[in-house]
Amino acid sequence: MGDYNSILVAVDLSEEAGEVAAKAARLAAANNAQMHVIHVIEPLSFAYGGDIPIDFSSIQEEIQQQAETQLRGLCANLAVPVERLHIVLGRPENEIHTLAKKLSADLIVVGSHGRHGFALLLGSTANGVLHGATCDVLAMRVGKK
Ligand code: AMP
């Protein structure tokens, strides 16, 4: 048995997501661990609240559908069953922590940088995940930094 039994990999929809997930899958295989994939969609209402009187529901649904199509493809490439793909609404670090606890994950894998983080040493999501985690966190170096 390896060091990890349950690995949760957090992916955004950036070009690096496949690389992050593929490495997590190799780690899961090497540890004979179960791998779950999470993607968190931030509700548009979080950004705009009640400031703009627009109904975001159809745009939100479109975003969700596109994310689902992309991530189902990613999971299929890595032979991760669709039941282990979790697409949830909320704040990424909160939802990643919540699911990691629910699954009793012993390792969370994130990319060091994604959409938000290229100016930083560690992306904001990776940083947020690292801070509240109750299990190991692997920040996979992606991109040029
Ligand atoms: P960032 O904070 O955008 O630089 O992203 C760093 C890493 O955090 C990414 O490579 C992903 O592993 C993870 N991440 C960022 N955004 C999300 C998201 N919406 N859902 C799940 N994971 C995410």
Q: Mean pLDDT of residues grouped by 10 in the chain (145 residues)?
A: 93 93 97 98 79 82 95 97 97 97 98 67 86 95 68
**Nearest alpha carbon, ligand 1 atom 19:** 40
125 lines ligand 1 (CB under 6 A): yes
pLDDT of residue 145: 47
What pLDDT does residue 56 have?
A: 81
- Determine the atom of ligand 1 nearest the C-alpha atom of 122: 4
* The pLDDT of residue 124: 87
Q: Is 36 helix (H, G, I), strand (E, B) or coil?
A: strand
Q: Could you give phi then psi for residue 5, rounded to 5 degrees?
A: -110, -30
Our CA angle for 45, 40, 24, nearest 5°, is 165
**What's residue 122's pLDDT?**
72
Q: Is the CB of 123 under 6 A from ligand 1?
A: yes
Residue 35's pLDDT is 98
pLDDT of residue 114: 64
Task: State the pLDDT at residue 7.
Answer: 98
**Nearest-angstrom CA–CA distance, 90 and 94:** 7
Query: Is the CB of 94 within 6 Å of ligand 1?
Result: no
Amino acid at 19: E
CB 128 less than 6 A from any atom of ligand 1: no
